[in-house]
C-alpha cells in the first residue's frame, strides 16, 4: 500500500485507492455514511464545497479506511493543501493591496496636476468682462427685466426604491455544524448547539451546508424552509 502514496493531493490519493478497489463512489457513500457530494468534493480537492477542517479530517480518515488507504498520509496531504491555499490567498491579498495603493497614488497625482492647471489658467478664465454702458437717454425710463422661476417642486425625481432584503433565521434543535455563503461571498462556519440562533441578511441567495439534516429549523422572511434528509445526514441547501 505504501507504494501508492505517489499522489500529490489528498483527493487524488484517496480516489486512486477507490479506483484500484473498483468501488463506485455511491458504494463508498453507503459504507461511510458520507454524502456523495462530499466525497466528490474531497476527490476534487474542492475546499469551498467541504465543511470546516476538523470535520474534513474525520471524513478523510473514514474514507481512507473504507478504500484501504493510509489515513495519516491522506490527512497530511490535506493539511499541506490547506497551507498552499492559505499562502495563495495571502499573495492575492498582497497583490490587491499593491494595486489599490498604485491607483490611489495615480489619483493623487491627477488631482495635483488638475489643481496646478487651474491655478495656471485662473487669470484667463476669471478675467472680468468689459463694462457695459447702461445709461439710458435723458427722459427714458429703464424697464426692469422680467424674472421667471421654473416650478421644480413637482419635477423632483422620486427616491430610488431600495431592494428588498432577504432575512434568514436559523434555530438549532440538535447539535450540528453549519457552513453558510451569503450572496456568493466568503464562507462562514458555525458549530451550533440546541437553542443557538443565527440571523443573516442578504440580497440574492444563501448557500448552506448542514452537518445534520434534522438539526436546524430555518425561516426565510419568517416563512419556514423545508430541509430534506435524515438525522446525521449532510445536506446542501440553496435559498431561495
- In the chain, where the domains are located: 1-123, 166-239
End-to-end Cα separation, the chain, in angstroms: 46
pLDDT tens, N- to C-terminus, the chain (240 residues): 444 444 579 999 999 999 999 999 999 999 999 999 999 999 999 988 899 998 999 999 999 999 999 999 999 999 999 998 887 878 878 888 888 888 888 898 888 988 887 887 775 556 565 555 555 455 555 455 554 454 444 555 444 445 678 999 999 999 999 999 999 887 899 999 999 999 999 999 999 999 999 999 999 999 999 999 899 899 999 999
Report d(CA 1, CA 21) in Å as an integer. Answer: 12
**Cβ–Cβ < 8 Å for 76, 88:** no
Predicted TM-score of the model (pTM): 0.44
The kind and range of the H/E element at 19 are helix 10-20
CA angle 96, 81, 56 (to 5 degrees): 115
Assign domain 1-123 to its CATH superfamily.
lambda repressor-like DNA-binding domains (1.10.260.40)
Amino acid at each position: 500500500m505504501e507504494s501508492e502514496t505517489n499522489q500529490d493531493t489528498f483527493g487524488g490519493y484517496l480516489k486512486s485507492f477507490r479506483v484500484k478497489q473498483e468501488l463506485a463512489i455511491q458504494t463508498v457513500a453507503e459504507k461511510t455514511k458520507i454524502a456523495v457530494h462530499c466525497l466528490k468534493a474531497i476527490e476534487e480537492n474542492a475546499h469551498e464545497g467541504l465543511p470546516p477542517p476538523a470535520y474534513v479530517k474525520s471524513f478523510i480518515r473514514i474514507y481512507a479506511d473504507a478504500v484501504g488507504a493510509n489515513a495519516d498520509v491522506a490527512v497530511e496531504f490535506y493539511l499541506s493543501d490547506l497551507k498552499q491555499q492559505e499562502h495563495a490567498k495571502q499573495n492575492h491579498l498582497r497583490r490587491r493591496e499593491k494595486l489599490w495603493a498604485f491607483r490611489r497614488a495615480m489619483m493623487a497625482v491627477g488631482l495635483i496636476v488638475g489643481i496646478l492647471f487651474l491655478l495656471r489658467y485662473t487669470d484667463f478664465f476669471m478675467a472680468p468682462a468689459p463694462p457695459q454702458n447702461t445709461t439710458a437717454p435723458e427722459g427714458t425710463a429703464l424697464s426692469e427685466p422680467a424674472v421667471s422661476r421654473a416650478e421644480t417642486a413637482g419635477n423632483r425625481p422620486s427616491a430610488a426604491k431600495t431592494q428588498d432584503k432577504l432575512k434568514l433565521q436559523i434555530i438549532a434543535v440538535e447539535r450540528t455544524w453549519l457552513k453558510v455563503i451569503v450572496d456568493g461571498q466568503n464562507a462562514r462556519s458555525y458549530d451550533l448547539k440546541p437553542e443557538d440562533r443565527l440571523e443573516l441578511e442578504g440580497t440574492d441567495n444563501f448557500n448552506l451546508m448542514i452537518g445534520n439534516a434534522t438539526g436546524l429549523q430555518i425561516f426565510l422572511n419568517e416563512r419556514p424552509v423545508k430541509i430534506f434528509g435524515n438525522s446525521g445526514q449532510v445536506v446542501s441547501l440553496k435559498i431561495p
